[in-house]
Every structure is written in C-alpha cells, then in structure tokens.
Amino acid sequence: MIRCIAIDDEPLALMQIASYIKKTPFLELAGQCQSALKAIEVLETIPVDLMFVDINMPDLSGMDFVKTIENPPKIVFVTASTEYALEGFRVDAIDYLLKPISYVDFLKSANKVKSWFDAHQQKADEVRSNKEFLFIKSDYKLLRINFDDIKYIEGMSEYIRIHLTNDKPVMTLLGMKAIEDQLPSDRFMRVHRSYIVNLTKISVIERNRIIFDGSVYIPVSDQFKTKFQSYINKNFLT
C-alpha cells in the first residue's frame, strides 16, 4: 500500500481527492490537510509515501511547501493551471492533475505512481539481496561501501552523507528514502527524518539520543521512537 496525504485549501476539492484515494485499492489515505502548514505537522508524525498537493494555497503555496521539505515524499501536484509544470518537474513531481479531476484522470496518475514505486521496490530488492556492500556515486567515482563500515547516514536536503568507521564521510546525491530501501532492515534503522543508524554500531543511548564517538548526538524523533524502542526492548537484559 502507498500511504498518501491530500493537501488542498478548498474543502470540496480536498474531499474529492480523499475519496478517490480511498476507492483506489493500492492507495491508503493517511491524512487530509487544508493548508501546507497543517501538512508539515502531519509529516512530522506519520510516515508518508505520496502527497497530492494543491499548488494555489494561501500563506504557503504547494510549490513553496514542497521546496521547504528535506527528503519529501513523492508528489502529484493538483492545479487548475499548467504554468507550473517545468518548476514542478524540478522538484521531482511524478505527475500533475488538472482541475476539475475525474476519477479516470486520478486513476491514470495513481497507476503512474504505482509503476514508479514498483520499479523502485524491485531495484531495492535486488540491492538487498546483497548483504555486504553497495556502490555509491561520489565525485564522479563509484565507491564500494561495506555495510559493516557504515556508522550512520545523515540526510542533507538532496544529498546524504555516509559516516564511516575508519574513513572520511562520503557525500552522494541521493534521498534518505532511496538509501533506506537499499539497506538491510535487520541492521539499519531510520530514527529521525534526517538520520539512519547502523544498529550494530550503537553503544550508548542517552535521553532518546544515540551517541557516536562521544560527541555526535543523533536524536530519535517521535515518529520513529516506537520502532526503535521495540528494538531496544528485544535486546535489553533485565
């Protein structure tokens, strides 16, 4: 299932998109927001794969909203105009829906989204079949990164920084979701919107923070706290 939120300041338009999401078998409605500011709150608490975003909204437009998010979910813009098409593709929007929207138009767009996720998942599964390393493109070179050498991964807007045990960090143009899907889930866990940690490298946890090298403090956010606490409980000696 692809977890979605709908964002539109017009109540009827929002209700329509929400109803279309509910009737599409491979989509799951995770939230409805009448403003970009409300959507920011939702994204801080709920994992989301896809956003249907109206562009013309007061206070903060859908386009500006997307640009403010580090590692945003995939995006389908909803708009009454095509004038934003080029700018939208610059922020990696998968598709556009032009108002008024029929369910046929919505389903075409949803199927396009599903094709993207299916292809991405297949690629991730192929990578996950290798449990030892992956190749990362950095500075026009392909670098082999052993999973055992990774301490944690830091999201930095469109880039990630991979912190290694015995070498300098490696920067690459990649999103957090993309790298997360390529890592073995039994050894790596996302604990914050901007951090993935190698569970085997954790030695100190203090006040919902993971401490590396005595000086690097990685917060465990509310969004991921339950999953991380479950891991701790399974490995806690009482």
CATH numbers and ranges of domains, the chain:
2-127 (3.40.50.2300), 133-234 (2.40.50.1020)
The β-bridge relationship of strands 159-164 and 170-173 is antiparallel
pLDDT (average), residues 14-41: 94
Residue 130 is predicted with a pLDDT of: 59
Over 80: is that where the pLDDT of 90 sits?
Answer: no
pLDDT of residue 123: 60
Higher pLDDT, 17 or 159: 17
Longest dimension (CA), the chain: 61
pLDDT tens track for 147-163: 999 999 999 877 899 99
Tokens coding 80: 């009454």
Banded pLDDT at 31 (limits 50, 70, 90): very high
Out of 11-25, 78-92, 192-206, least confident range: 78-92
pLDDT at 234: 85
Cα–Cα distance between 210 and 76 in angstroms, integer?
35
Nearest to 104 by CA among 27, 30, 20, 14: 20
The answer to whether 237 and 210 are in contact (CB under 8 A) is no
pLDDT of residue 44: 82
Highest mean pLDDT among 21-25, 52-56, 85-89: 21-25
Q: What is the pTM of this model?
A: 0.56
pLDDT of residue 101: 94
Render the chain in DSSP notation, one character per residue.
-EEEEEE-SSHHHHHHHHHHHHHSTTEEEEEEESSHHHHHHHHTTS--SEEEEES--SSS-HHHHHHH-SSPPEEEEEES-STTHHHHHHTTEEEEEESS--HHHHHHHHHHHHHHHHHHHHHHHHHHT--SEEEEEETTEEEEEEGGGEEEEEEETTEEEEEESSS--EEEE--HHHHHHHS-TTTEEEEETTEEEEGGG--EEETTEEEETTTEEEE--HHHHHHHHHHHHHT---
